[in-house]
Amino acid sequence: MTVQLVRDELLPPAPPPPRRHLISIADLTRDDVTRLLATARSFERSLERELKKLPTLRGRTVVNLFFESSTRTSSSFELAAKRLSADVMTVKSAGSSVEKGESLKDTALTLAAYDPDVIVIRHPQIGAPHLVARLTSSHVVNAGDGKHQHPTQALLDLYTIEEHVGPIDGVHVAIVGDVLHSRVARSNIQALTLMGAHVTLVGPPALIPRGIEAMGCAVSTDIAAIGDADVVYVLRMQRERMEAGANYLPSLREYTARWGVTPARLRPGQKVMHPGPMNRGVEIDPRVADSADALIETQVRAGLFVRMAVLYDLLTRGPVEVKAEAVEEVA
């Protein structure tokens, strides 16, 4: 007996047309990043006006699908869509059918039935945005998938560096802490090296994944290695991802003593960034977090402009090059 189960949809998906989605920084070219950052700058200027809403995406629908808790990312995507006049709907796993055991496939298909133009998804598992991209015809924006990628975070970090430190080409960024569990680190390593920055990873041996040098960064277990950096990028110690008994570290106390970013370990003028949420007193000394060299709130603000740029880029021009003045026009 032959069981005929194979249908076309089972076959591996044809590669999507270029930049239909934003799932990984690896999908972007240097030109794409330059264009997105220029678009974000135009949006920042437009938001200086009294009337902050732009008509650009009127009639478009953006669905935010959040399977993980988030303050910064979900609020900033929501506001970005609203500032562009899109209809936006935010669905969180808490209180949704996900709690009744609905699969990601069925949740995605249900929401896709409303024909959203964009689905923004955050999910605790690597590859969730790929699956949604395969199952729906919407543009998919990855707002964080497990330990894999968080591309809009990396873009807003590039934006912040360009605005407050200088050209990314040649800048030296030290990324400090739990690289192993950090999607922010992975997206940033790719984005920074793509744009010509030098990246040094600093952290405890068990939290620096084996083989990561192949991404084009230097690696050190000595906190002194942050000394040469223009920017010290502090990662959250992701306690919620520390599986019991994994013994990555003897204790958090030991982490703070060895790798905590304190005023004594910084040079004057070194800028400090953090993707949030911070554990003050663990990976970052409160005096550092509150200092004038900390760009942490700046990063949050940049998130809005960058996410507006991402939505705009996907929906209006897609793969075609967007000229900065075109944005001014609609603005």
Q: Which is nearer to another protein, 134 or 301 (CB)?
A: 134
Which residue, 38 or 209, is less far from another protein as judged by CB? Answer: 209
Please say whether the dihedral angle defined by the alpha carbons of residues 103, 105, 108 and 112, taken in this order, is positive or negative: negative
Residue 80 beta carbon to another protein: minimum distance, rounded to whole angstroms? 25
CB of 135 to another protein, least distance (A): 8
Which residue lies nearer to another protein by CB, 109 or 225?
A: 109
Q: Name the residue nearer to another protein (CB basis): 126 or 324.
A: 126
To another protein, the closest distance from the beta carbon of 243 in angstroms equals 7
Catalytic residues, by residue number, are 72-73, 100, 122, 150
Name the residues that contact another protein, by CB under 8 A. Answer: 1-6, 10-12, 103-105, 123, 125-128, 130-131, 145-149, 183, 186, 209-212, 214-215, 243, 246
Spatial CA neighbour of 134 closest among 4, 300, 23: 23
The Cα–Cα gap between 178 and 221 comes to: 11
**Least distance (Å) from another protein to the CB of residue 124?**
8
Structure tokens at 179: 């690289």
Q: What is the 3 state secondary structure string of 102-158?
A: CCHHHHHHHHHCCCCCEEEEEECCCCHHHHHHHHCCCEEEEEEECCCECHHHHHHHH
Q: Dihedral, CA atoms, 309, 314, 316, 321, nearest 10 degrees?
A: 80
